[in-house]
Amino acid sequence: MSRRRNGKGGTSVKSRLTAAAAILGALVGLGLGMAGFFVGEALKEARSAERFVTVRGFAERNVESDLVIWPIAFRDTGNDLVDLQKVVDSHKAEVRAFLAAAGFKPEEISEMPPQVTDLKAQTYGDGQKRDYRYIANVTVTLRTGDVKAAKKAMEDSGKLVLRGIVLAEQDYARSTEFLFTGLNEIKPAMIAEATKNAREAAEQFARDSGARVGSIRRASQGLFTIEDRDKGSPDHKKVRVVTTVEYFLSSN
């Protein structure tokens, strides 16, 4: 009798253990399923957050130069240094008088020490026989914000030749410069315009791909460039800037 009771009791225990294991397995399965759901949603959101588009925005302005640097270079020759210096001083005074007559102030005019070459001291030459020994290269520089007056003076520079001043050809080191110094004043507006242009490009891309533009992921401002509008108008400048912006994209 006692064995039969023990047998029934063992069967009951096994049944209870089997039921508990089944319940535990179901709970584990449910937990794994929920975990998989949340992981899937997290990955979905991560993939959504990683969607972005890179666009470039452009802004351009046409501006007028507000500063001119005009180096007036000329050359004098002679066989005596003292006499040559007198000629140089006379011609520098002529140039200053010419600029003063054009309306420029003394503080807008500067001079560089003359560069004197002694042809006899050179160990090489072109073999030509010359009537002079010394060459003095002189530069008087005009620096002014009156661009219009400076251009007019350049047109009238032939008057210096009539006074016996031999104007030298301009080279890289002595070339007239037309500059624009007001970049900081127009920078904010140009950056805003370039950013707006980039946003419009991103929105067009989003419409074409069935997405919606979100916030800025990353942005970088390009360098501002100032160039002559064309070769014949160095006093007219073109200012450009390009910005690169990355926008997040989301589904509609």
Q: pLDDT tens-digit profile of 218-252?
A: 999 889 999 999 988 999 999 999 999 999 999 87
How far is the C-alpha of 77 from the C-alpha of 81, rounded, in Å? 9
pLDDT at 56: 95
Residue 41's pLDDT band (cuts 50, 70, 90): very low
pLDDT at 63: 98
Domain 51-64+182-251 has CATH 3.40.50.1390: no
Q: Is 103 left (phi over 0), alpha (psi -120 to 50) or beta?
A: left
Q: Among the listed ranges 99-108, 145-154, 211-220, which one has the minimum average pLDDT value?
A: 211-220
Most confident of 23-37, 112-126, 213-227: 213-227
pLDDT at 171: 67
Residue 49's pLDDT band (cuts 50, 70, 90): low
- 69 close to 173: Cβ distance less than 8 angstroms: no
Average pLDDT over residues 31-39: 43
Tell me, yes or no, if the pTM score tops 0.75: no
- Fold of the CATH domain 67-178: Alpha-Beta Plaits (3.30.70)
Q: Among the listed ranges 34-38, 148-152, 162-166, 236-240, which one has the minimum average pLDDT value?
A: 34-38
